[in-house]
Structures are given as structure tokens and as C-alpha cells.
Structure 1
């Protein structure tokens, strides 16, 4: 009986250790697990730093163009190819969905919640940057939806970058697109948010 307990291990037996967590098929020691926590916190710090920068640039740019350029003639940067032209957009690109402003507001809020939840499992710096860009961009446009006219949750987004034959956009849109492209690249390379690399 004693020999069986020694082999199997019981909760009261000093030789029975707690099961060690596994990562990528290998056992992770408590020391390695504790070392992972600071790494995870650093990635979260990167995420929120990138988000704060993207949000700040978007907010400041919108304040400037509204104060200086709204109701003025467009400014040519590269002739007809690129102009600064302020518009208020209640919908999506090309003005699509102007009657569904509150839907876009809810989508932006949902994206922010999902990113915040995903941050708990974040151990990849590239993913932290990508999600930070998405978060900052979503916050930038959500701020417009909440605080700008015609009302709360129905506000029109300020767009001002006007390339030729392309919808007018802002820095928040740019951050969202860049974050989305980076996520696609990471997914094709098999890199997960937790740092796991899949090689098919």
C-alpha cells in the first residue's frame, strides 16, 4: 500500500508535487511561470502606450483641423492627389451607413472591450503594437461619436485626409488599418497573441 502511494502520489504525501503547467508541450517550472508575468505586463504596457499615442495624435489633429480648416477651402498637399479637406462623417467609408451611426458607435465600443480582455493573454510585442493601434484608433473615432454633434452616440467623425479617388479619412482610421494589416501578417506567420508560433 505504501509502495502504491509512493508511485501514484497522494495529496498528503510530501513526494506528490502539484502538476506543473505546460506551454508548447513542455512543463513550465514555477520560476519560469513567475518570469513570464513581468513579460506579459511589459507587453500590456506596450499596447496601452501605442494606444495612447495613436489616440493623442488623432485627437490633437482633429482639434487643429476643426479650429483652422473647417469651413475653409481645401488645401492641396500633392496637387489633386492629396488634399486636406474637413468633412463630418456620420457613417463609414464613402459615407456608407449614415443612418446607423449608433451601430458604428456600439461596434467601436465592442472592439475596445474585446482588446481589453485579450490583453490578459498578451505575450507578443508585435501583437501588442497591432492591438494598440486598433485600440487607439477605435477610441479616437468613438470620442467623436460620443461628444460631437448632433448628439451623444450619434456624433459625426471628423475626417480630413483626402486622397484622390479615395474616401476622406483621419489618423484614427489610419491606425485601425495599420493595426489590421499587422494582425493579418502575424496570422499568416502563425504568431498568436500569447507568443506561440505555429509552423505548418
Structure 2
């Protein structure tokens, strides 16, 4: 879980550094015409720029998510759950670092978004990891895949 989270964090932060340096002139790069375009957007809110005036709330939420995942990850025994939680931990940690250390101020930083999906929304690689991690978590839950010690003991007793 920690290795995958570190990989997601490093790749996301590296891609954001690239985006800030390559796209800050206001010009975009078309990747797939009418579908995916790269353009820089500094987002102080959440998804779809919701809550732009309360950036500190998103910093606290990301910190709580990171702490929660690290806490439950101590019981983790399933490789599949390790993948799901690793994606979530990496994405949440990357967003937390953006909120804490990017301008304009500590705990009020803007998340760097740069992948424009046909004008519907603009995101980043951490968003992809978070979405995939949530989808995988849902799939594991629906399939009844045991998480760790408690779930496995209950499962073995049945």
C-alpha cells in the first residue's frame, strides 16, 4: 500500500511540476481532439471548483483521509485492498500537499489541475488514482473480499 501510494504521489507531483512549467503561458495542448486537452487550472475548490472559499476545509478533509487510511492500513492483509487503499492514500496525500504548500498560503493552496475532459471538468493524475481507488474499493466490498484480520477471522468462522 505504501509503495503504491508513494508512486502515485511522485508521479502526480512530477506531472504537476511539468504542467505548471509547460502550460503556464495559457496555451493548451490537444491530446485527443474534442476529448482531452491539457491546460493549466489552479483550483482552490473541490471537484468542479465547488467550495472555492473554504480551501482549509479541503486541507483538513485530506489530512483526515490520509490519517484514516494509514490507521486502517495497519490491519491490511489483502493485496487487492492494498492496491485500492494505496491509490486512495497517494491521491489524498498529493492533494493534501498541494493544499498545504502551494500558493497562495499554507492550508489555502490551490490544487494543480491540467487534464481537461472535453470541457466537462479539469483534473490531474491524483484525481484518476482517487477515482480508480474508490471504484476498486466498491468492487472489493461488493464482492465480499476480506480486508484484514477482523474480516478474515469472521470469514474463516463461517
TM-based fold match above 0.5: yes
Alignment of 1:110-149 (within 5 A): 110-149=64-103
Name the CA distance, whole Å, in 2 between partners of 1:106 and 1:131: 19
Name the CA distance, whole Å, in 2 between partners of 1:181 and 1:60: 24
Report deviation, 1:63.
Answer: 0.5
Q: Flag structure 1 segments of 5+ consecutive residues without an equivalent.
A: 1-46
For CA contacts below 8 A with separation 6 or more, give which structure has more relative contact order: 2
- Max radius of gyration: which structure? 1
Alignment of 1:1-200 (within 5 A): 47-194=1-148, 196=152
Name the CA distance, whole Å, in 2 between partners of 1:165 and 1:150: 25
Q: Flag structure 2 segments of 5+ consecutive residues without an equivalent.
A: none
Cα deviation 1:34-86 (Å, max 9, x = unaligned): xxxxxxxxxxxxx0010011001001000011011113311111112110010
Secondary structure of 2:39 counterpart? strand
Aligned length in residues: 153
Name the CA distance, whole Å, in 2 between partners of 1:93 and 1:120: 29
Report deviation, 1:165.
Answer: 3.9
Deviates more, 1:149-158 or 1:70-79: 70-79
Secondary structure of 2:54 counterpart? helix
Name the CA distance, whole Å, in 2 between partners of 1:185 and 1:166: 26
